[in-house]
Structure 1
Amino acid sequence: MADRDPEIKFGEDRSEGISWNELMDRDSKPAPDFLKEEAYEYRGSDPIPAERYTSEEFAKAEREKMWPFVWQFAAREEDLPDPGDFVVYEMAGRSYLIVRQDDGSVRAMHNVCLHRGRKLRLEDGCADKFVCPFHAFTWNKDGSFDHAPCEWDFPHLKDKNMDLPDLEVGHWQGYIFIREERGGPTLEEYLAPLPEHFKGWNHDECVTVMRVAKEVPANWKVTMEAFMEAWHTIVTHPQLLPFTGDCNSAYRIWGDHVNVNLVPFGVMSPHVQEGQGEQWIVDEFIKYNGRSSDNYDPDGDPMAIQVPEGKTAREALGDKMREVYSEQAGYSLMHASDAEVLDALVYNVFPNFAPWGGYMPNIVYRWFPGKTPDTSVMEVRILARIKKGEPKPRGAELISLTLDQKWTEAGVLGGLGDVFEQDMENLPYVQEGLHAHKTGEVQLGNYQEIRIRQFQDTLMKYLEGTLGGGNS
């Protein structure tokens, strides 16, 4: 472990109010040990060059030296449940087909005709063969070459391997990953410690019930890093402060590829000067979740609770959520800690995958580079548990929003849409500011932005060749 920042007393409060670990010790159910284990490493205080977010040359280096060598979350199992189902996965100038085979396995291959280079498919679907719409060169769904018209004119291809180039495929908790270049850590090694942390949360028992993607006028790293710390809540999301311990959050990093931000809910932010008691915290939490509308019926809302005397809002919400989630799941979750049913346990896996942990309906983020360094696409999935004994349905279809549309236009995200829109109000001006930056330096906090520092450090390891290219 590197030297600790002399300005941070390791393991002690880093802001006003109680620390995350103190909150875990007060929770009504014991929190898993891994939620209390410190994993902070001082990574220096150097600035980040602004050109990493604006330069086409830097984006080109990412495309060539980073993206082909990392494990990427490409699809969920429920996106392609039946033989022949395929997903078109596009990332940083590459296009891939993720295809379910007859034996239930999944294969991944480049989505490019080996004749004249046309993409074979433009959107998800189901097919036994992939026929190029240009000249009808044809491949089987496992990527093997089938035939081409006028084969007499291509004698030079007779002894050439015309199978579609394939990729490594990995599976974890219902997520399907691909890696273009072989070599380096296995998927489980790459994801560590997620396999251990998520063991009881069983995302493989979940299905995608909402999926929305939106174009964003900012670099993919600018957009992603806006979701890697909680302390912007105080000014960007003030409606969350009554029930969010923004500066009570904990930040953890592991190795090169994984980190987490642990954000407590059901507690009032230390930045709120005039709180109105435990019931007020619960009422504000319910309001945020979109249950206070013109036709709101509290009798039909299981979360419209009264805080029992002697209990905190966090304890009361934890008790109710355990009850509600147990009923929804069809099996008991009464053992789960308050943190696991209530808090934002936001993990990030390098470079662009962020699944929420715990037992609640889980949010999953992905971020994609745009066609220029000044644009990106952000995708949000919501996973929900399938009730025990019920068949798993196909995943929800993607709703795509353009630059000019708002997250709230998707309709399905509820209060999350409003929160995302508040983030979007910052991002175009961050991107413009980075172009106009006089010093060309982005300054980061040592602790609350440690996840960004880890991400940037890892990115540079790939671009400099100490990770990737067989060095992972």
Structure 2
Amino acid sequence: MDETSELGTARCPGPSVQDYLDRDSRPVPPALRYVNNDYLGSEDIDTTRFTSREWAEHEMRQVWRRVWQFACLESEIPEVGDHEIYEIGDDSLIIVRTAPDEIRAYVNACLHRGRKLRTSSGNVSELRCPFHGFAWNLDGTMQTPPCAWDFPHVTPEKFALPEAKVATWRGFVFINMDPYAEPFESYRGTFDEYYIWPLQDRYKSLHIAKVLPCNWKIAQDAFIESFHVIATHPQMLPWLADANSQYDVMADQPNWNRMINIQGAPSPHVADSVTEEDVLETFYDSRAFYAAAQGRDLVIQEGDEMPAIPPGGTARQVLAERMRAQLAATSQQDFTQTADTELLDAINYLLFPNFNPWGGAKSNIIYRFKPNGLDPDSCTAEIIFMSAPKQPGEMPPPVKIRWVPEDMLFADIPELGVLGPVFDQDCENLPYVQQGLKAMRKPGITLSNYQESRIRHFNQTLDRWMNK
């Protein structure tokens, strides 16, 4: 046998995610029964990608101007003339609904002297530059320029606004600035087969954004693995099976990966000293972190009596039944046959480069991390809640983005629930990672073979784009 044949096959002792799903009280969707982790090597990842201004500028040209990326929601531009501004690095795009069934993305710069055409979202009947009055129709064609007699060299038919490609997916608008980019359908690969939840039937109920003092990849990497739970979130260990998490990475699917974290079961780090009653009690004490954060209505009020675990039962089963009971009382949808895992577990996907939707039967979180201009030492972090309407068909309007000041904690935002202080625990590490990478004499970071395989998968995809 080849001495390297077993590399990447080691897993944490104890029940796997699939072992837990075998015991769920309802049938589990086939998409969550998929298990695949291709061994991608164990080489270090160079640190310059996180700290170098030169890398950041090259990344903007090679990656961000060539990949499909989430720009806004269709529901944010429902009427003709509605538009949002999407900015990445030095690029600015106007995402505008030009017809009831058409969305376009224009470069946000006047072709006369370069002034931005729009600086905020809204509704317009034309795109007019405030500087000298040059204007374009919503279809991107130029209107007669002011003082046309002085511009005999400008012909409207050759002065159309440059465009980016646009695609829509389950209510989300994606753009690609490369005119030769592959279609979004093929870019996603098999992602649609394994992300099964109808985001188009949900509305944006919360949108929080904050500038963080670290590279965008450092921030994103922190949220696509559970290895850090043991040190960063020790309060979760009695009810989150962190080291037993499942990581799905596919060498032939470079643009997406996934992890599944079991909740309502103990971490293998503490399993020998934790009873099922301990799992349930600590889950209640932590205010049902993920469930509440994802709008899943598992609300635990002061004075709520903790249910008893029946003989032979588990805390996980009790929590799933509690969730179904609350949903039956607050929702018009039927969740009686919904799998326990869809109600309880943290199921996180990454669609390259930075669309991070969580799975779940009721509501979902979306994370988005982006460069902050061309600064390698800062980024923007966004948390979006996509919630199911209380009445089917009655879709509330999407909320506006809310920027959090640098000196404000996520814990100070009541709508985030317990996700706020947990997000703060994560963010506390990030500036010190950025600083440490600059001080470190070792030229690369060293990743585990399994628990950090999503980080390796993401960085290998990044390298492909950087080297094209």
TM-score by length of 1: 0.91
Letter in 1 for 2:146: P
Q: State the match for 1:340 in structure 2.
A: 342
Structure 2 unmatched runs, 5+:
293-299
Aligned pair in 2 of structure 1 residues 202, 431: CA closer, same or farther (>3 Å)?
same
Q: State the match for 1:470 in structure 2.
A: none
Q: State the match for 2:296 in structure 1.
A: none
Whether the aligned pair in 1 keeps the contact of 2:76 and 2:84 (CA below 8 Å) is yes
Q: State the match for 1:469 in structure 2.
A: none
Q: State the match for 1:238 in structure 2.
A: 234
Q: Which moved more, 1:339-348 or 1:410-419?
A: 410-419
**1:327 Cα deviation from its structure 2 partner:** 5.0
Taking the TM superposition and a 5 Å limit, the aligned residue runs for 1:182-261 are 182-199=179-196, 201-254=197-250, 255-261=253-259
Q: Which moved more, 1:403-412 or 1:15-24?
A: 403-412
Q: State the match for 2:136 in structure 1.
A: 139
Query: For 2:150 and 2:363, how far apart are their aligned partners in 1?
Result: 56
**1:4 Cα deviation from its structure 2 partner:** 7.1
Q: State the match for 1:279 in structure 2.
A: 277
**1:207 Cα deviation from its structure 2 partner:** 0.5
1:61 aligns with 2:58: yes
1:20 aligns with 2:17: yes
Q: Percent identity?
A: 37
Query: For 1:102 and 1:5, how far apart are their aligned partners in 2?
Result: 56
Q: Which of 147, 151, 154 is the equivalent residue of 2:151?
A: 154
Q: Which of 101, 120, 123 is the equivalent residue of 2:120?
A: 123
Letter in 2 for 1:351: P
1:136 aligned counterpart, secondary structure: coil
1:87 aligns with 2:84: yes
Query: For 1:356 and 1:46, how far apart are their aligned partners in 2?
Result: 29
1:380 aligned counterpart, secondary structure: strand
**1:159 Cα deviation from its structure 2 partner:** 5.5
Q: State the match for 2:9 in structure 1.
A: 9
Q: Which moved more, 1:306-315 or 1:48-57?
A: 306-315
1:419 aligns with 2:429: no
Query: For 2:325 and 2:79, how far apart are their aligned partners in 1?
Result: 34
**1:444 Cα deviation from its structure 2 partner:** 0.7
Aligned pair in 2 of structure 1 residues 5, 259: CA closer, same or farther (>3 Å)?
farther
1:271 aligned counterpart, secondary structure: coil
Q: State the match for 1:390 in structure 2.
A: 393
2:420 aligned counterpart, secondary structure: helix
Letter in 2 for 1:338: D
Structure 1 unmatched runs, 5+:
466-472
1:283 aligned counterpart, secondary structure: helix
**1:27 Cα deviation from its structure 2 partner:** 1.4
**1:438 Cα deviation from its structure 2 partner:** 0.6
Query: For 2:392 and 2:339, how far apart are their aligned partners in 1?
Result: 25
2:435 aligned counterpart, secondary structure: helix
**1:422 Cα deviation from its structure 2 partner:** 0.6
**1:320 Cα deviation from its structure 2 partner:** 2.4
Q: Which of 353, 356, 361 is the equivalent residue of 1:354?
A: 356
**1:152 Cα deviation from its structure 2 partner:** 1.7
Aligned pair in 2 of structure 1 residues 458, 19: CA closer, same or farther (>3 Å)?
same
Q: State the match for 1:99 in structure 2.
A: 96
Give the root-mean-square deviation of aligned CA atoms. Answer: 2.2
Letter in 2 for 1:257: N
Taking the TM superposition and a 5 Å limit, the aligned residue runs for 1:156-171 are 156-158=153-155, 161-171=158-168
Q: Write out per-residue CA displacement over residues 217-261 of structure 1, whole angstroms, 9 at most, x where no aligned residue.
A: 000001100111001001101121121110110000131100001
Letter in 2 for 1:265: Q
1:452 aligns with 2:449: no
**1:101 Cα deviation from its structure 2 partner:** 2.8
1:170 aligned counterpart, secondary structure: strand
Q: Which moved more, 1:411-420 or 1:142-151?
A: 142-151
Whether the aligned pair in 2 keeps the contact of 1:69 and 1:179 (CA below 8 Å) is yes
Whether the aligned pair in 2 keeps the contact of 1:323 and 1:333 (CA below 8 Å) is no
Q: State the match for 2:71 in structure 1.
A: 74
Q: State the match for 1:468 in structure 2.
A: none
Whether the aligned pair in 1 keeps the contact of 2:266 and 2:274 (CA below 8 Å) is no
Aligned pair in 2 of structure 1 residues 188, 4: CA closer, same or farther (>3 Å)?
farther
Letter in 2 for 1:337: A
Query: For 1:193 and 1:124, how far apart are their aligned partners in 2?
Result: 33
Aligned pair in 2 of structure 1 residues 310, 408: CA closer, same or farther (>3 Å)?
same
Aligned pair in 2 of structure 1 residues 128, 227: CA closer, same or farther (>3 Å)?
same
**1:398 Cα deviation from its structure 2 partner:** 0.8
**1:437 Cα deviation from its structure 2 partner:** 1.4
Whether the aligned pair in 1 keeps the contact of 2:7 and 2:39 (CA below 8 Å) is no
Q: State the match for 1:264 in structure 2.
A: 262
Q: How many pairs were matched up?
A: 454
Q: Write out per-residue CA displacement over residues 331-381 of structure 1, whole angstroms, 9 at most, x where no aligned residue.
A: 212222111111111000100110001213211011110131000001110
Query: For 1:7 and 1:354, how far apart are their aligned partners in 2?
Result: 28
Whether the aligned pair in 1 keeps the contact of 2:195 and 2:359 (CA below 8 Å) is yes
Query: For 1:455 and 1:436, how far apart are their aligned partners in 2?
Result: 24
Whether the aligned pair in 1 keeps the contact of 2:31 and 2:195 (CA below 8 Å) is no
Query: For 1:84 and 1:329, how far apart are their aligned partners in 2?
Result: 34
